[in-house]
Amino acid sequence: MVKATYERVRRLPGVGKLVERLAQNFSLDYVQSVRQQLDKISPTMCAAKWLQSTVHLEIGETHSCHHPGRHKIPLEELKVYPGALHDTRRKKNERKKMLAGERPEECGYCWKIEDLPGSPLSDRHYKSAEDWARPFVEKLGAMSGDEDVDPTYLELSFSSNCQLRCSYCDPSVSSALRAEIKKFGPYPTADAFGTLVADHDGGVFTEAFWDWWPQVRSKLKVFRLTGGEPLLEEDTFRVMETFLKDPSPDLKFSVNSNLMVSDERFTRFTSLLEQLMKKKAVKEMQVFASIDTWGEQAEWIRHGLKVKVFSKNLEELLRDHPQVPVTLMITFNALSPFRFKELLDYVLWCRQTYPRATLKIGIALLHNPSFMCLDVLPKSYSQQLEDILAHHRANSMVTRGRSGFTVAEIAKFERILAWWKERPTATERWKDLRVFVNEYDRRKGTSFEKAFPGFLENLQ
Ligand code: SF4
């Protein structure tokens, strides 16, 4: 009923387009036009493979985009050219495949979506439509794939320094989790989850970064710091101070955070953020805050998270720095659905309470560890997931105005649900999930049964 009403209103002449434009920087028609442009180059072309890069300096790894797994930055390539932090031979090979119309295996995230009935738009299209990508698509399409191409969107991790030990995290990007694994060893799951890889000499990569920085900085449209926890990292404050001294007025600068740092550190961050905005030292400043559901369940999934502290800091940003958009980074996993509507309600409340601020939702499906992927949920949870989608629709911009959920936000959850419905239930991973949960509780002193009563019993 709610869905039908929503669809009816959305189809009224002009309304759908208006809502789409209010909802995002570009309309779905625009993304379709980008799809056509990509298709002229090849049916697998994606600008993010050239222009969007994540680089982890401490462990010397990179990926493009953030969906495929990370790979090592070869030292022999770095010796020749510091830009090999991004332009690795491996990425160049994947780019050549795209230009030839082949599907790089590492981009399965997009192919799975595109293979659904009706071939929906995937991140390949959405990302290529972004203003850091679209203007360059034609030029990239005329390349051979062997060229060095500086990214226009760079996500950078200076270090893995982090105080949280989230359930799905990788010890190479959280120092606290690494300490846990050093003490207890990997988890006794079939794939020995949490196995440590050899430590790297991060110094070599950091040195290369500062050599590369003057060249890449002028090309960047988006620069995003990740971690570890960036607000624990001195280099984060150094970068912000650098922008104050030497502004980059065309740059969108973002920081990922778990919002769980001390008040003193948080104030240091918000004060620099305020100065950057006042001085117009960057075009836009954004914060991405991580949370996957609500209450005790969110705290179990992200060990060290306290929802009270998280929401206090989030609300401080929305209230005192409304010019800084905040996006909730949601890694949607098998444990997210049960209290997810409460998180959605909190988002609606924030949007109503702080109307001058911008609070967005960014959902990505978790794929690793595979025993926490949504496809382990039995189909008996269907109603629960449908309810979440219905909750989005019942609280859309059409019904609630500016504080409601956007077309893009609703479409994102539709895609997640469609993906889950198509997937056979991964019952073979239930054993690993049980093993993991028990060991996690033992190591962390948590109680899965208290946070998720009856969940394990339902896996049969
Ligand atoms: S995963 Fe998708 S969006 Fe990312 S690089 Fe591959 S095709 Fe592009």
* 3-class secondary-structure state, position 248: strand
Please work out whether the CB of residue 95 comes within 6 Å of at least one atom of ligand 1: no
How crowded is the C-beta side of 352, counted as CA atoms within 13 Å? Answer: 12
Question: In this structure, are strands 61-63 and 52-56 parallel, antiparallel, or unpaired?
Answer: antiparallel
How far does the centroid of ligand 1 lie from the alpha carbon of residue 67, in Å?
7
Domain ranges of the chain: 311-460
Q: What is the mean pLDDT of the chain?
A: 92
The residue to mutate among 34, 39, 44, 65, having the most atoms of ligand 1 within 8 angstroms of its beta carbon, is: 65
Please work out whether the CB of residue 127 comes within 6 Å of at least one atom of ligand 1: yes
Tokens found for residue 277: 């905005």
Please work out whether the CB of residue 123 comes within 6 Å of at least one atom of ligand 1: yes
Which is higher by pLDDT, 241 or 196? 241
d(CA 211, CA 288): 27
Phi-psi region of 194 (alpha: psi -120 to 50; beta: other; left: phi over 0): left
Closest atom, ligand 1, to C-alpha of 127: 3
Q: How far apart are the first and last CA of the chain?
A: 33
d(CA 85, CA 204): 11
Bridge partners of 155, per DSSP, are 54, 224
Q: Is pLDDT at 16 greater than 70 in this prediction?
A: no
Residue 12 class from Cβ within 10 Å (0-12 exposed, 13-18 middle, 19+ buried)?
exposed
How far does the centroid of ligand 1 lie from the alpha carbon of residue 144, in Å?
18
Please work out whether the CB of residue 46 comes within 6 Å of at least one atom of ligand 1: yes
Q: What is the mean pLDDT of residues 176-197?
A: 93
Cβ(58)–Cβ(202) below 8 Å: yes
Cβ(272)–Cβ(137) below 8 Å: no
Which of these, 344, 328, 237, lies nearest to 286 by C-alpha position?
328
Question: What pTM did the predictor assign?
Answer: 0.85
Cβ(195)–Cβ(186) below 8 Å: yes
Cβ(99)–Cβ(45) below 8 Å: yes
Cβ(408)–Cβ(24) below 8 Å: yes
Give pLDDT, residue 449: 97
The residue to mutate among 46, 113, 155, having the most atoms of ligand 1 within 8 angstroms of its beta carbon, is: 46
Query: From atom 6 of ligand 1, which residue's Cα is the shortest distance away?
Result: 107
Cβ(287)–Cβ(320) below 8 Å: no
Percent of the chain's residues with pLDDT above 90: 86
pLDDT tens for 43-72 read 999 999 999 999 999 999 999 999 999 999
Q: Is pLDDT at 200 greater than 70 in this prediction?
A: no
